[in-house]
Amino acid sequence: MPSKSYSGQRASWGLKLASVAALLFLHVPILIIFLYTLTPDEQTFTFPLPGITFKWFGVALQRPDLWRALTLSLQVAAVATLAALVLGTLAAAAVYRSNFFGREAISFLLVLPIALPGIVTGIALRTALGTYDISFSYWTIVIGHATFCVVVVYNNVLARFRRMQGSQIEASMDLGANSFQTFRYVVFPNIATALLAGGMLAFALSFDEVIVTTFTAGQQTTLPIWIFSQLSRPRDRPVTNVVAILVVLITFFPIFFAQRLSAQNSDIEGGSK
């Protein structure tokens, strides 16, 4: 492990040990679920495992309720992401291009749904639905998810706008491109990867969200809701393990690529200077 720092000092053993311990604490628990997908034990979480079996993956595949939950979660995440992309980009563009009074307030308003505990958003939306007699539907879930997804796209796109060389938009218009052409040929290519990164994060956020969803889903079951019901009243322990792993995998890749994308972009910019 390279331990030479910029300042040329070496990390002490104590520091390294504490860092490794923190990293293990962050990641080992998830690995334990992987382990448990192989247990033949249906009733308890006995460790060491009494044996090894791969049958639960097959069992999970056969469960129509799981497929329905998965489909619903994917649909909700896709539409919430789309809404977040549009609303977040508009807000970022507005804040970037003008110095209007209250732009701090906009940022604050958008951050609020992730800064306040999820239960606040959840119960507020639930109460509002009750007040106006709106019945639970696919759209009530989407609306709930969009509130906290917008800020993810907003932050990513605004950061990219701020790193974009300022005079590019002026240069484009100066060369005769109208606002729409300027967006298509200059602005969009510049923010495309930020949209991709923000969109993937928003997707992951929505896909495994459970707190707000419990308040806005009614009788519908998303995948996280399905897992949650198993947490309080376990019936299908081994299948739950498989589903948990599925959720981990479905969210891992978008997040991983989004992070790589942001890291790469800052690398490229750093290199060109």
Partner 1 sequence: MLIRVSTYLYQRPKLVLSLLLGPPLIYMVVVYLGSLFNLLVYSFYYLESFTGLIVREFTLSTYAQIFEPANRDIFIRTAGMAMAVTIADALIAFPLAYYIARFSSPRLKTWLIIAVTIPLWSSYLVRVYAWKLILAQEGILSWFIRLIRLDGVLEWLLSFESIGGSSLALSPIGMFIVFAYIWLPYMIIPIQTALERVPNSLLEASSDLGAKPLQTFRTVILPLSFPGVVAGSIFTFSLTLGDFIVPLALGNSKFFIGQAVYSYQGTAGNIPLAAAMTMGPVVIMIIYLLVARRLGAFDAL
Partner 2 sequence: MTDQSKPAIQFENVSRHFGAVKAVDHADIEIHDGEFFSLLGPSGSGKTTCLRMIAGFDKPTEGRIYLYGQDVSDLPPFERNVNTVFQDYALFPHMNVGDNIAYGLMVKGVSKPERLKRVDEILDLVQLKGYGDRKPSQLSGGQRQRVALARALINHPKVLLLDEPLGALDLKLRQQMQVELKAIQQRVGITFIFVTHDQEEALTMSDRIALFNQGRIEQVGSPSEIYEHPASAFVAGFVGTSNLISGELAKRVSGKMGTFSIRPEKIHLGSVDVNVSPDSYSADGVVRDVIYLGLYTRYLVQLDGGGEVMVIEQNLKTTSMDVLKIKGQRARLHWKKEHTHEVGG
> What are the residues binding partner 2 (CB under 8 A)?
165, 167-168, 170-178, 181, 185-186, 189-190, 272
Among 13, 54, 101, 180, binds partner 1 (CB under 8 A): 180
Scan residues 203-262 and list those touching partner 1 (CB under 8 A): 204-205, 208-211, 214, 224, 227-228, 231-232, 240-241, 244-245, 247-248, 251-252, 255-256, 259-260
| CA-wise closest residue to 109 among 98, 119, 121, 99 | 121
Residue 126 or 160: the one with the smaller Cβ distance to partner 1 is 126
- Residue from 42, 47, 138, 163 touching partner 1 (CB under 8 A): that is 47
**In the block, which residue shows the tokens 């990293």?**
23
Asked if 157 and 95 touch (Cβ cutoff 8 Å), the reply is no
Long-range contacts, stretch 227-230, CB < 8 angstroms, 24+ apart: none
User: What, of partner 1, partner 2, none, does residue 112 touch, CB below 5 to 8 Å by kind?
Assistant: partner 1
Closest CA to 249 of 202, 194, 197, 204: 204
Are the CB atoms for 210 and 148 separated by under 8 Å? no
| C-beta of 178 vs 219, nearer to partner 2 | 178
Residue 189 binds which entry of partner 1, partner 2, none, CB below 5-8 Å type-dependent: partner 2
User: Among 98, 135, 167, 272, which residue interacts with partner 1 (rule: CB under 8 A)?
Assistant: 98
Least Cβ distance, residue 82 to partner 1 (angstroms): 13
Angstrom distance (rounded) from CA 158 to CA 239: 41
Question: Which of 59, 61, 94, 192 lies at the binding interface for partner 1 (CB under 8 A)?
Answer: 94
Beta carbon nearer to partner 2, 127 or 179: 179
End-to-end CA distance of the chain: 29
How far is it, in rounded angstroms, from Cα 80 to Cα 82? 5
Sign, CA torsion 215/219/223/229: positive
> Looking at beta carbons only, is 214 or 262 nearer to partner 2?
262
Residue with Cβ nearer partner 1 (62 or 249): 249
- Among residues 91, 83, 99, the alpha carbon closest in space to that of 156 is found at 91
CA 173/CA 125 separation, integer angstroms: 43
Residue 100 interacting entry, from partner 1, partner 2, none, C-beta within 5 to 8 Å by type: partner 1
Q: CA-to-CA distance for 237 and 43, rounded, in angstroms?
A: 7
Residue with Cβ nearer partner 2 (185 or 256): 185
Binding pattern for the stretch 116-145 against partner 1, x by CB under 8 A and - elsewhere: xxxxxx-xxxxxx-xx-----------x--
Q: Which amino acid is at 158?
A: L
Q: Which of 25, 101, 165, 174 binds partner 1 (CB under 8 A)?
A: 25
Pick between residue 72 and residue 191 the one whose CB is nearest to partner 2: 191
The torsion of the CA quartet 137, 138, 141, 145, rounded to 10 degrees, works out to -150
Question: Which does residue 54 touch among partner 1, partner 2, none (CB within 5 to 8 A, set by kind)?
Answer: none
